[in-house]
Amino acid sequence: MTSSVFKFDPKLDLLLERDIDVPPDLVWTVWTTPKHLRHWFVPKPWTITDCEIDLRPGGMFRSTMRSPEGQEFPNTGCYLEVVPNQRLVFTDAMLPGFRPSQNPFFTAVLSLEPKGTGTRYTAMAIHRDEDGRKKHEEMGFHNGWGTVATQMVEYIKTRM
């Protein structure tokens, strides 16, 4: 797959764009390494209790989110595209090995572009229909993904 396949459609997709002051290689590392991802991938006070990454097209991306009340929400998906330090595409529409899932919600496209000593960070959530996009937006996509991006930068600056 190439990035030209992913064209933002405001009726179906959600977009977070931000210039961050950490380099793309460190952003890539924390996005693709479970021991790092666990620390920032959900808005606090939520946590990641388990994470597994098989970083290759067809490989698994699995995480379990835990709410402050202790409820756990497992998520399993499949990587579609892996371009080190540039682009990561994964979806819950497929399971590992490109097997179709029963309840697809969205496909994520993460793009990292060098910008000075930092990164132009772009996260896009692609949905099947307008209802899916609306539901994700109402769940707090912009606030949630924005908070997570801020937590990621803080994690990189203080722990890497």
Integer Cα distance of 102 and 69 in angstroms: 27
- pLDDT at 91 (0 to 100): 97
Contact 58, 91 (CB under 8 A): no
Q: Pairing state of beta strands 94-95 and 99-100?
A: antiparallel
**Gyration radius (Cα) of the chain, Å:** 15
Three-state SS for 130?
helix
- pLDDT at 6 (0 to 100): 78
Contacts of 7 (CB under 8 A, 6+ apart): none
CATH number of 25-159: 3.30.530.20
Q: Could you tell me which of 36, 97, 95, 105 has the C-alpha nearest to residue 62?
A: 95
Q: Could you tell me which of 48, 136, 49 has the C-alpha nearest to residue 92?
A: 136
Q: Show me where the domains of the chain are located.
A: 25-159
CB neighbourhood size of 152 (10 A): 22
- pLDDT at 4 (0 to 100): 52
pLDDT along the chain (160 residues), means of 10: 69 97 98 98 97 98 97 96 97 95 94 97 97 96 97 96
- pLDDT at 22 (0 to 100): 98
- pLDDT at 5 (0 to 100): 66
